[in-house]
Homo-oligomer: A and B are copies of this chain.
Amino acid sequence: MVVTGHTSSEGAPGEGAPGQGTPAERGPGGETARSVSIRDVAAAAGVSYQTVSRVINGHPSVKGSTRDRVLGTIAELGFRPNRAARALAGGTAQSVTVLTSNTTLYGYAAVLEGVEEAARTADFAVGVRVVESAEPDAVRDAVARATEAAGALIVLAFDRAGAAALAAVPDGVHLVATVETPVGEAGAGRPWVWINDREAAVTATRYLLGLGHRTVHHVAIPSSAETGQRLAGWQSALAAADAGIPPAIQAGWDSRSGYQAGRALAADPAVTAVLCGNDDLALGVTRAMIEAGRAVPGDVSIVGFDDTPQSAYFVPALTTVRLDFTELGRAAFALLHERISGRPATVARLDPELIIRESSGPPPTGGA
């Protein structure tokens, strides 16, 4: 298994040969690149190219018959407006770039998927730019780059880096943010879209309490603020039930981090229920519990957040709160498109859903 990039090593590499090549001939199927412009269309339709411009931009003052004719020749010639030229000339760029700190974690990747899908449907190009940290330099650079395309922006402000980037976006650029909390600094003054994590956390915590657990422990994901919404919901549900509020364990996003938190939790016999900030964390916590000889859910119940495609196949299958991040991405784009085009969009209303599977149950008889 090799991956290399030596310059133009021609011919078919054999076993163990460099995994890169640039054969001389070309395969079939190649049409010619680049071509028909607004002027070609104009000539073919017998109008000036300004009129063609009006037609493709849906300008109202164009006679119906000429519009139809132009539209016809556009279809015939397969004309596609050049985005770079449009952007340069000051028209709508028809492009969104997603500014985010991550593209592979489940929630982030799902939002990106939703944005791409919706953008594609609306014929928008989509760009991706990651901002590596909340450091001023990184943020400034990321925003500058993401913004220079002259297109619109969707910033994923679920964490500190994203929130910092959101705050640094200059006025005047079309923007929608996906935020953790609509109020507060993160979303301040910007159009946003969100998922009510707090309410979802309340639901999950209440469910665990309802099973008979005296209290629920929490392993938290990073947040855009001091207190994450999932953590806040967990706390308030506990308070409302007059249950004790154990200190939350601050973790990262991945299973490794959950595993470490789980080892600490497993050492405490009083722990019978753990609400984890996401499913990856829950996987790690579960493994740590099992390694420590604590049965799940016999001795301790574990609940996650997100419902990743794998969660139903974990052993034990994970009880979790399903959050539709893909739809959130679609909603973000819809809102953005609405603000750009002026045409109101309809966005589906999503509700959280607690998916009860095998990792949760009543506390051990001797323990509750």
Contacts and interface: CB of A to CB of B under 8 A. Distances in A.
Interface in A152-210: 167-173, 182-183, 185, 187-197, 199-200
A72 interface: no
Task: Tell me the number of copies of this protein.
Answer: 2
A278 to B, nearest CB: 11
Contacts of A30: 169-171
A5 B88 contact: no
A191 B21 contact: yes
A350 B19 CA distance: 10
Contacts of A70: none
Given A148-B82, A193-B20, A3 B88 contact: no
Interface string A126-137: 111110000000
Nearest to A150: B84
A336 to B, nearest CB: 9
Given A7-B344, A27-B190, A85-B88, A19 B195 contact: yes
Given A32-B170, A125-B127, A3 B328 contact: yes
A200 to B, nearest CB: 5
Contact of A182 (B13, B33, B258): B13
A298 interface: no
Interface stretch (A217-225, A269-277, A310-318): A310-318
A116 B313 CA distance: 31
A197 B109 contact: no
8 residue pairs, one from A and one from B, having the closest CB atoms: A5-B347, A1-B352, A1-B196, A27-B188, A84-B87, A255-B313, A27-B189, A26-B189
10 contacts: A3-B327, A5-B347, A7-B338, A21-B182, A30-B169, A83-B148, A84-B150, A123-B145, A283-B314, A286-B313
